[in-house]
Amino acid sequence: MVVRTAEAAPALRIEWPDVPGCPPASVVLQRARAALAQAKEADDVLAIAEVTPPIAGGDGWQLHIRTRTVHGRGERTLEANSCDGVARAAALLVALAALRTRAPLVDRPIDEIHPPPDRVEEPGAVPFSLTLVDPPKARPEREMPAVKRAPTDDARFTPSVGVGFASGLLPRMGLGANASFDYEASWLRARAGVRAFLPQEEIRWGLGAELSAMGASLDLCGRLPIPGLARARLHGCAGAAIDDVRAHGLGGAETSDLRRTAMMAFVGLGAEWDLGRRYRIGVDVRGGGSLARPRFVIVSAEQGERELHRPSVLRTEGSLLFGLVF
């Protein structure tokens, strides 16, 4: 910092982190100087800012900033929906710290910031719509308590589409498409989904059928307090699935269509990643036991009754989903 005369512009310095998606330090300083353009008297300010990106979907960007002037020290912790929002707040706090409400006893350069036993808050209020949260250090009892987020702010709806596989439902590994609708509140989630699998031919003893399946599932999931790889959020699920298995007869003098119901209870694990604030991809794997196992049989005069297909006792499924968050 440099010693300035009464007519010189205030010396502003901010240590601003280089975070992807955030404005550079030069932009923050430019905004702070613009806010002080009409000020008649202003002091030198040194500021150190710490910016924390959102940890989970729905969280905001967090700013922790410490300021130092010849009158004392200040400290704030704020949240905003974007890094540009916390950058504008940082510029405003630097400008507020620079505004002179009384002449300093000694005109001298400011020192580096050191954690003080107590601090003097800079005057002024923050005219931004931001959420105050507790800073890492203890706050004096005279300060206003933090404003807590309402529980309804965490509720989100996520319609998703994707592709998946199923083992044990059809004669071979089944591939298909699925769609689901999630309602998420805090760490709990309810998911309702539908899916359809590509048909498969199963022929035995010169006779057979084309088997296909369409179904629906209902999951209840909870977020797991386990750190995920690559910023993934992990969740565990339990639920049930019901499928309408259709067999269209092949060969023989007559063909027929049969429909039978298969059911499964399952548990599963999943991971999801946010792509910005509106998009999400997820991977789910589940396994369970069959509650209903319909039999499809072939009856002929020569062979009698023989089983063509029956779902397995143990079944596994998986899916890859792409969702839009509301």
**pLDDT one-digit tens code per residue, 160-186:** 999 999 999 999 999 999 999 999 988
CB 273 within 8 A of CB 296: no
Q: Binning pLDDT at 50, 70 and 90, where does residue 255 land?
A: low
Residues 281-288, mean pLDDT to the nearest whole number: 96
Together in a domain, 191 and 228: yes
**Residues 121 and 230 placed together within one structural domain of the fold:** no
The pLDDT of residue 125 is 39
Q: What is the pLDDT of residue 110?
A: 56
| Residue 153: pLDDT over 70 | no
Q: Total domain count for the chain?
A: 2
CA distance 246 to 261: 9
Report the pLDDT averaged over residues 30-48.
87
Q: Is the pLDDT of residue 207 over 90?
A: no
In the structure, what pLDDT confidence band is assigned to residue 109 with cuts at 50, 70 and 90?
Answer: low
Whether 123 is covered by a domain: the verdict is: yes
State residue 101's pLDDT score. Answer: 64
Residue that is last in its domain, among 122, 149, 176: 149
Q: What is the mean pLDDT of residues 231-250?
A: 92
230/221 Cα distance (integer angstroms): 21
Domain closes at, from 114, 149, 184:
149
Residue 5 lies in a domain: no
User: Is pLDDT larger for residue 5 or for residue 250?
Assistant: 250
- In the prediction, which pLDDT does 108 show? 55
Give yes or no for residue 227 having a pLDDT over 50: yes
CATH of the domain at 187: 2.40.160.20
User: Any alpha helices (H) in the chain, and if so which ranges?
Assistant: 25-35, 83-98
Shared domain check, 169 and 136: no
CA distances in angstroms from 309 to 246, 247, 255, 306, 322, listed in the order given: 11, 10, 17, 9, 33
pLDDT of residue 4: 42
Least confident of 6-15, 147-156, 259-268: 147-156
Q: Is residue 221 a part of any domain in this protein?
A: yes
Residues 185 and 256 in one domain: yes
- Residue range 120-137, pLDDT digits in tens: 444 443 443 344 444 455
Sign of CA dihedral 226, 232, 233, 234: negative
Residue 307 has pLDDT above 70, yes or no: yes
pLDDT, mean of residues 66-89: 89
Residue 309's contacts (CB-CB under 8 Å, 6 or more residues apart) are 170, 171, 202, 209, 211, 247, 295, 296
Cβ proximity of 109 and 156 under 8 Å: no
Whose CA is closest to 214, among 192, 181, 241, 180? 241
Band (102; pLDDT cuts 50, 70, 90): low
Q: Which amino acid is at 296?
A: F
List C-alpha distances in Å: 83 to 63, 86, 283, 313: 9, 5, 29, 52
Say if 69 falls within a structural domain. Answer: yes
**4 inside domain:** no
Token couple for 233? 């959020």
Instruction: Name which residue leads in pLDDT, 291 or 230.
Output: 291
Residue 3 has pLDDT above 60, yes or no: no
Is 271 found in the same domain as 192?
A: yes
In a domain, 28, yes or no: yes
Structure tokens at 60: 């905001």
Mean pLDDT of 60-69: 90
- Confidence (pLDDT) at 159: 96
Domain boundary among 149, 170, 196: 149
- Say if residue 209 is in the same domain as residue 255: yes
Does pLDDT of 27 surpass 70? yes
Q: Binning pLDDT at 50, 70 and 90, where does residue 98 land?
A: confident
The range of the structural domain enclosing residue 22 comes to 12-149
Whether 78 and 178 map to the same domain: the answer is no
| Beta-strand relationship, 279-292 and 314-324 | antiparallel
